[in-house]
Amino acid sequence: MLALDPKTTALVLIDLQKGILAMNTAPHASADVLARGRQLADVFRKANAPVVLVNVDFGPDFGDAPRGLTDAAASRNYPDDWTVLAEGLQHRQDLIVTKHQWGAFHGTDLDVKLRRRGIRTVVVAGIATNFGVESTVRAGWEHGYNMVVVEDASTGVSAELHDMAFKFIFPRIARVTTAADLSLD
């Protein structure tokens, strides 16, 4: 069991939004990740610990998408409600961060929101493991936060990529846990 101090710990849920939840994911179904994310958020809210809901939005004209030379261009074919958080996920006291790239730190006010609340430990979960989740965990670690990643509340575009991150990347920069093994004391 990993027990964390609710006075210095925040939950950051990555991209639990309609468009991303509609993707095929592995090893966990997006509906299961959403359910675990809701459970974690309830635990954090009851402990008066911050819940940060992060969504990604590239703008209707795709003008806010990252630029750069790549071998695989991002899709520009998104439905109108693609950026909308899952129904009922957001509560009044939650913090909202909209990102315009994979990670939730660069180009957003996430770091300011966390530091001003005295947060030292950040628990991260969401979709997709090797995009938004991993980028956020790496940047949080680089910003000096204690990072925790919830394996069964995260999922990827493939089981192999998800497992690679949890086996080789996250243990070097974070604590890895499951939703059931996380508590706030």
14 CB-contact burial (10 Å; exposed 0-12 / middle 13-18 / buried 19+): buried
Sheet strand arrangement including 51-56: 95-99, 51-56, 9-14, 121-127, 146-155, 175-177
* Residues 77-121: tens digit of each pLDDT: 777 788 999 999 999 999 999 999 999 999 999 999 999 999 999
Closest C-alpha among 102, 95, 155, 145 to residue 125: 155
* Residues 47-61: tens digit of each pLDDT: 999 999 999 998 888
Instruction: Please give the share of the chain, as a percent, with pLDDT higher than 70.
Output: 99
Whether 41 and 13 have beta carbons less than 8 Å apart is answered as yes
pTM of the full structure: 0.96
Give the span between the Cα atoms of 16 and 22, in whole angstroms: 10
Beta bridge partners of 56: 99
**What is the model's pLDDT at position 69?**
84
